């Protein structure tokens, strides 16, 4: 028995030694220390047969937790688990997060999906084994073989197949391990010159290390935030296409698609912000989706893009699973208005006030600093508390408040400071609100509140004179109130039997205006005030309506 055990042990030892030799030959850049970690002497090493990325049968070498290497046609390859520990083992090419789902499904990486960094692509030859990462994170998510050299990729205009993918995060091989998520590994942002040091700099080494660590943490946080926003953007896009948009609604303004469809698919407690994604702009994101042949976008009017076609049979839409939190809501019947469209809910609009530099001393006692945003009731309570705490109520007439130096500096003009010693309560509060910076909060039905600086522009209605003394009605700022300009134009066009068009709003690339023949303010007023239930104070220009003739 002892001899048999000794023989088995010796065979395992020889097997490990051969595997270690094969790994060293396959990856010359691996150090002896890394080699011992990959193929340890004592830790358990299992050899199993699995089906990998495209159904290929592979030999997998796994430790007690995860597959470390896999062998296909007598060639060794690292798994993503191994590359997370050694991210620089292979030359790496980056792609966008939405591509990952396609790679995991068995697709190869096409060159249009490869990001070309400012420093250039890694130099590789045809057949070179490469890692594939996501933008902003060096942790590889796939392993592939280059189908052409870097020079050939660039010469081809970054078109065609770039990499044959052998293994990807979330495939069967990854599922054999502990199914952990990719770590966040910050990009290499330091320039070579920054890494040089001299003996004179040794005394600053600790400070530089601390600064470097802080910078790396900041970069990691940004990367995590960007990846999560990309995932959320991807989820809201496919959710909107699968469950919200109807063929009859095409063409659909891209701005309307974002505001009325994608935002409504955002999970509660999260906020979709394209500027925080790797795409930065809606047009860039939709352009990518158009390259994937999921949608088609056209500029139907100058400067105004619309989605004109959606391929609902596309595998990415068909395979998308609506998050469970929306499942119950999705099965409920939708509320409709008379025209068969989704019921419009007027947004809740609340004016807010920001503490300015000038007003900061007045709000300091309440713990609010410059930039703090408050509601009118909060401002009122803070001012009342300040007056009472500082005993500024006039003893002879409690309708007045004595002006102390802080109130004087914050609320009075220079010419008033020597003349005014008391203010009425109403005057005090109104002056305070006037001196604060205006903000507003808009809450659309089913969405998180949005806070913006400045006052909310009203829906602006004007009458313009055109050739042959013809009049047209121009409507602006509908999007600010969650209204689809195209829907408003179509509704008015049907009701008044006059032509309506959508044009880019001068000076605003992402906004449009509706133009309809004739003075249609009376019809528009009925639509906005009675049907959409908007408050009259948010509509400007209703007084320009033509006077209705009275029938005798």
Is the confidence at residue 166, as pLDDT, over 80? yes
The pLDDT score that the predictor gives to residue 147 is: 94
Please indicate, yes or no, if residue 451 is contained in any of the structural domains.
Answer: no
The pLDDT score that the predictor gives to residue 340 is: 37
**Phi and psi, residue 6, nearest 5°:** -65, -40
Cβ neighbours around 109 below 10 Å, total:
24
pLDDT tens for each residue of 291-341: 889 999 998 777 778 899 999 988 888 888 877 655 433 333 333 333 334
Coil, strand, or helix at residue 376? helix
State the average pLDDT over residues 499-517. 82
Cβ neighbours around 329 below 10 Å, total:
12
Q: Is-contact 138 227, C-beta < 8 A?
A: no
- Rounded to 10 degrees, the C-alpha dihedral 172/177/183/187 comes to -60
Pair (304, 368) in one structural domain? no
Q: Which residues contact 542 (CB under 8 A, 6 or more apart)?
A: 461, 521, 525, 536
Give percent above pLDDT 70 in the chain.
84
Pair (109, 167) in one structural domain? yes
Please indicate, yes or no, if residue 324 is contained in any of the structural domains.
Answer: no
The pLDDT score that the predictor gives to residue 225 is: 67
- ∠ CA 162-166-169, rounded to 5°: 100
Please indicate, yes or no, if residue 209 is contained in any of the structural domains.
Answer: no
- ∠ CA 4-10-11, rounded to 5°: 90
The pLDDT score that the predictor gives to residue 403 is: 92
The pLDDT score that the predictor gives to residue 9 is: 44
Pair (280, 244) in one structural domain? yes
Is the confidence at residue 529, as pLDDT, over 60? yes
pLDDT tens for each residue of 103-146: 877 788 999 889 888 778 889 999 999 999 988 888 999 999 99
Is the confidence at residue 221, as pLDDT, over 50? no
Please indicate, yes or no, if residue 362 is contained in any of the structural domains.
Answer: yes
CATH number for position 234: 1.10.10
Q: What is the 3-state secondary structure (H, E, C) of 401-438?
A: EECCHHHHHHHCCHHHCCCCCEEEHHHHHHHHHHHCEE
The rounded mean pLDDT for the chain is: 80
Pair (462, 435) in one structural domain? no
Please indicate, yes or no, if residue 67 is contained in any of the structural domains.
Answer: yes
539, containing H or E segment: strand 539-540
CATH number for position 127: 3.10.400.20
CA-CA distance, 69 to 81, in Å (whole number)? 9
Is the confidence at residue 163, as pLDDT, over 80? yes
- Tell which of 394, 411, 440 closes a domain: 440
Question: Containing domain of residue 251, as a range?
Answer: 228-319
Pair (391, 481) in one structural domain? no
Is the confidence at residue 262, as pLDDT, over 70? yes
pLDDT tens for each residue of 263-275: 888 887 777 888 8
Pair (12, 73) in one structural domain? yes
Q: Which residue would you say has higher pLDDT here, 474 or 222?
A: 474
Q: CA-CA distances (angstroms) from residue 410 to 47, 388, 491?
A: 77, 18, 50
Is the confidence at residue 195, as pLDDT, over 70? no
pTM of the model: 0.42
Question: What is the token pair recorded at 21?
Answer: 């030799």
Is the confidence at residue 441, as pLDDT, over 80? yes
| β strands within 39-86, DSSP E | 46-51, 57-62, 67-72, 75-78
Pair (31, 165) in one structural domain? yes
Is the confidence at residue 205, as pLDDT, over 50? no
Q: CA-CA distances (angstroms) from residue 444 to 452, 491, 533?
A: 14, 21, 14
Give percent above pLDDT 90 in the chain.
27
Q: Is-contact 307 254, C-beta < 8 A?
A: yes
Please indicate, yes or no, if residue 452 is contained in any of the structural domains.
Answer: no
The pLDDT score that the predictor gives to residue 52 is: 64
Is the confidence at residue 206, as pLDDT, over 90? no
Phi-psi group of 468: left, alpha or beta (phi > 0 → left; psi -120 to 50 → alpha; rest → beta)? left
Is the confidence at residue 80, as pLDDT, over 90? yes
Question: What is the token pair recorded at 42?
Answer: 């004592």
State the average pLDDT over residues 514-542. 90
Q: Is-contact 167 70, C-beta < 8 A?
A: yes
The pLDDT score that the predictor gives to residue 342 is: 52
- ∠ CA 338-343-348, rounded to 5°: 140
Is the confidence at residue 478, as pLDDT, over 80? yes
The region of weakest confidence among 176-190, 282-296, 430-444 is 176-190
Coil, strand, or helix at residue 290? helix
Pair (278, 352) in one structural domain? no
The pLDDT score that the predictor gives to residue 279 is: 83
CA-CA distance, 513 to 486, in Å (whole number)? 9
CA-CA distance, 273 to 285, in Å (whole number)? 12
Pair (430, 468) in one structural domain? no
Q: How confident is the model at residue 494 (pLDDT cuts 50, 70, 90)?
A: confident
The pLDDT score that the predictor gives to residue 446 is: 67
- Tell which of 110, 145, 176 closes a domain: 176
Pair (240, 374) in one structural domain? no
CA-CA distance, 429 to 362, in Å (whole number)? 12
Pair (384, 409) in one structural domain? yes
The pLDDT score that the predictor gives to residue 329 is: 38
DSSP 8-state symbol, 181: P
Please indicate, yes or no, if residue 138 is contained in any of the structural domains.
Answer: yes
Nearest to 460 by CA among 533, 512, 526: 512
How many folded domains does the chain comprise? 4
pLDDT tens for each residue of 531-543: 888 889 999 998 8
The pLDDT score that the predictor gives to residue 215 is: 37
Q: Which residues contact 23 (CB under 8 A, 6 or more apart)?
A: 30, 35, 38, 39, 69, 76
CA-CA distance, 516 to 214, in Å (whole number)? 57
State the average pLDDT over residues 51-60. 73
CATH number for position 407: 1.10.245.10
Please indicate, yes or no, if residue 500 is contained in any of the structural domains.
Answer: yes
CA-CA distance, 148 to 455, in Å (whole number)? 56
The pLDDT score that the predictor gives to residue 260 is: 80
Pair (295, 373) in one structural domain? no
């Amino acid at each position: 028995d002892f001899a048999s055990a000794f023989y088995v042990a010796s065979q395992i030892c020889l097997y490990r030694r051969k595997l270690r030799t094969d790994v060293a030959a396959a990856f010359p850049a691996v150090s002896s220390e890394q080699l011992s970690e990959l193929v340890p002497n004592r830790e358990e090493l299992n050899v199993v047969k699995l089906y990998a990325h495209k159904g290929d049968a592979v030999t997998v070498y796994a430790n007690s937790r995860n597959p470390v290497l896999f062998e296909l046609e007598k060639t060794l390859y690292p798994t993503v688990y191994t590359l997370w520990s050694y991210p620089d083992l292979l030359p790496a090419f980056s792609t966008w997060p939405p591509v990952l789902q396609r790679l995991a499904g068995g697709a190869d990486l096409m060159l249009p999906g490869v990001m070309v960094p400012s420093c250039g692509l890694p130099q590789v030859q045809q057949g070179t084994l490469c890692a594939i990462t996501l933008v902003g994170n060096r942790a590889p998510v796939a392993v592939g073989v280059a189908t052409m050299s870097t020079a050939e990729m660039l010469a081809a205009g970054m078109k065609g197949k770039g990499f044959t993918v052998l293994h990807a995060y979330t495939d069967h091989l990854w599922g054999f391990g502990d199914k952990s998520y990719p770590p966040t590994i910050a990009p290499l942002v330091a320039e070579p010159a920054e890494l040089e040091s001299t003996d004179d700099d040794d005394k600053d080494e600790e400070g530089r290390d601390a600064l470097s660590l802080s910078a790396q943490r900041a970069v990691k946080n940004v990367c995590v935030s960007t990846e999560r926003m990309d995932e959320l953007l991807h989820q809201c896009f496919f959710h909107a296409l699968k469950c919200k948009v109807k063929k009859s609604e095409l063409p659909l303004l891209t701005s309307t698609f974002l505001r009325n469809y994608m935002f409504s698919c955002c999970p509660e407690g999260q906020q979709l912000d394209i500027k925080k994604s790797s795409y930065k702009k809606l047009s860039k994101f939709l352009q990518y989706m158009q390259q994937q042949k999921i949608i088609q976008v056209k500029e139907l009017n100058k400067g105004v893009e619309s989605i004109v076609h959606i391929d609902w049979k596309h595998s990415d839409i068909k395979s998308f699973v609506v998050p469970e939190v929306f499942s119950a809501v999705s099965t409920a019947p939708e509320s409709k208005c008379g025209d068969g469209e989704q019921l419009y809910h007027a947004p809740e609009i609340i004016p807010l006030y920001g503490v300015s530099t000038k007003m900061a001393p007045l709000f300091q006692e309440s713990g609010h600093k410059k930039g703090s945003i408050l509601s009118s009731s909060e401002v009122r309570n803070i001012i009342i508390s300040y007056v009472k705490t500082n005993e500024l109520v006039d003893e002879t007439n409690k309708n007045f408040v004595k002006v102390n130096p802080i109130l004087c500096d914050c609320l009075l003009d220079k010419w008033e400071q020597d003349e005014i010693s008391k203010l009425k309560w109403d005057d005090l509060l109104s002056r305070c609100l006037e001196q604060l910076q205006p903000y507003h909060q808009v809450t659309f039905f089913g969405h998180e509140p949005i806070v913006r600086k400045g006052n909310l522009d009203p829906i602006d209605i004007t009458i313009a004179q055109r050739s042959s003394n013809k009049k047209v009605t121009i409507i602006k700022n509908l999007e600010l109130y969650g209204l689809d300009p195209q829907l408003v134009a179509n509704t008015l066009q049907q009701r008044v039997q006059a032509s309506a068009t959508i044009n880019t709003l001068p000076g605003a690339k992402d906004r449009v205006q509706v133009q309809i023949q004739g003075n249609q303010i009376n019809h528009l007023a009925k639509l906005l005030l009675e049907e959409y239930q908007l408050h009259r104070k948010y509509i400007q220009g209703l007084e320009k309506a033509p006077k209705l003739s009275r029938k005798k």
